[in-house]
Structure 1
Amino acid sequence: MKLIGMLDSPFVRRAAITLKLKGLPFEHLSLSVFRNFDEFQSINPLVKAPTLVGDDGWQLVDSTLIIDWAETAGSGPSLMPSDPAARLRALRLTGLALIAAEKSVQIVYEGKRAEDRRDAGWLARVQGQLKAACSELEREAAGSDDWLVGDALTQADITTAVTWRFTQLMQPELIRPHDYPALAAHSARAEQLPAFVELPPI
């Protein structure tokens, strides 16, 4: 099985860490949708990262779908709570983290435009959405005693930690640790886990 995409993408990285934690062996092919477009396209014409390719040739795209599949295909402990209330919390926090990741990526892409073609109003709105998502996650992290949903690592923790690391790589002046101390501490704790250490965002 192959996972295609670069680990500097929060979406690729959350999928890779999940596969690792679920005990699903895979080969990581670090292909950029920009620099390696033709090679990526030869594997998946959609050029969508992450792409998971099964040993018999099937393909699955989108990190959320890959993670959903891994939940039942893998042998490792579930990364989603079974209790309805806890599951709702995990889904809600994962959603907030995904919004933060998406807005961070949009800011990066806007920065690739020629300066005279950038939309300052749109960029300010996206930056505000990113800060709002991080503020909600900060509040939730500050109110958690252990991990974000009880005492076990869940997908909410993975996605939140991966997204925070991405913001620190791409938006360090906009999203500053001293403004979100609980979120920064949560991410630092998760980044010490073996699966995170083995799959750094590079």
Structure 2
Amino acid sequence: MQLIGMLDSPFVRRAAITLRLRGIPFEHRSLSVFRNYDEFKAINPLVKAPTLVGDDGGLLVDSSMIIDWAETVGDGPSLMPADPAERLRALRLIGLGLVAAEKTVQIIYEGKRDEARRDANWVHRVESQLMAAYTALERDAQGWTPWLLGDVLSQADVTVAVAWRFTQLIRPDLVTPEQFPTLAALSERAEGLQAFAALPPE
């Protein structure tokens, strides 16, 4: 089984960490959808990261689909609570974490455009959405320790911690630990885990 994509993508990284936490063996192939386009296309014509190549050669794309599948296999502890109320809370936090990751990616892409073609209003809008996501996460994380659902590491922690680290690498000037101390502490705690440390952002 192979996971294709670079760990500088928060979507690839959350999938990789989840597979490791669930005890699912895989080979990570660090291919860029830009620099390694032809090689990636030969594996998956969609050229979408992450791509999971199963032992049967079948492809699974999108980090949420890969993670959903990972919940059904492997011998590691489940990262999703069974209790409906806790599961709903986890899904809400995961959704906010995914928005934060997505908006950070949009900031990157806009920054790659020629300066004359950049849309300042669009950038402001995306930055506002990014801040709104982290503000909601910081509020909802208050009072929860050591993890977002209490004593047990969940997919909410994986997704939010990965998103936070990614944003810190891209826009540390916009989203700071001083503004969001609870999220910064969560990230530090998660990054200290072996599964995170073994799969650092590239």
Query: Which residue of 2 is the match for residue 142 of structure 1?
Result: 142
Alpha-carbon contact 1:81-1:154 (below 8 Å) kept: yes
The answer for the alignment partner of 1:165 in structure 2 is 165
Output one character per residue of 1:97-130: Cα deviation in whole Å (capped at 9) or x when no partner: 0000000000001001000111111110000000
* d(CA) in 2 for partners of 1:178, 1:150: 23
**Residues 148-159 of structure 1: pairs in structure 2 closer than 5 A:** 148-159=148-159
1:140 positional shift = 1.8
Contact 1:142-1:183 at 8 Å conserved across structures: no
Aligned positions of 1:48-197 closer than 5 A: 48-197=48-197
Give the paired residue count.
202
Offset at 1:177?
1.1
Which position in structure 1 is the counterpart of 2:199? 199
Unmatched segments (≥5 aa) in structure 1: none
Measured in 1, the distance between the counterparts of 2:141 and 2:189 equals 12
Correspondence for 2:36: 36
Aligned residue number for residue 3 of structure 1: 3
Distance in 2 (alpha carbons) for counterparts of 1:139 and 1:184: 13
- Tell me the alpha carbon deviations over residues 65-106 of structure 1, each in whole angstroms, 9 at most, x when there is no partner: 000000001211100000010000000000000000000000
* AA partner of residue 193 (structure 1): L
Equivalent-residue separation in structure 1 for 2:111 and 2:74 (angstroms):
38
Amino acid at match of 1:174: L
Secondary structure of the residue aligned to 1:60 is strand
- Any idea what SS the aligned residue of 1:95 has? helix
Give the C-alpha shift of residue 143 in structure 1. 2.3
The secondary structure found in structure 1 opposite 2:60 is: strand
Cα distance in 2 for partners of 1:158, 1:130 equals: 18
TM-score, normalised to structure 1, is: 0.99
Deviation digits for residues 165-192 of structure 1, max 9, x if unmatched? 0001011111111111110000000000
| C-alpha distance in 1 between matches for 2:152 and 2:23 | 17
Following superposition, the deviation at residue 142 of structure 1 comes to: 2.3
State how far apart, in whole Å, the 1-side matches of 2:143 and 2:124 are.
29
Identity of aligned residues (%): 71
> TM-score, normalising length from structure 2?
0.99
Distance in 2 between the 1:53 and 1:145 partners?
36
Query: What are the Cα deviations for residues 127-177 of structure 1, in whole angstroms up to 9, with x where unaligned?
Result: 000000001111122221321012100000000000000001011111111
Cα-Cα RMSD: 0.6
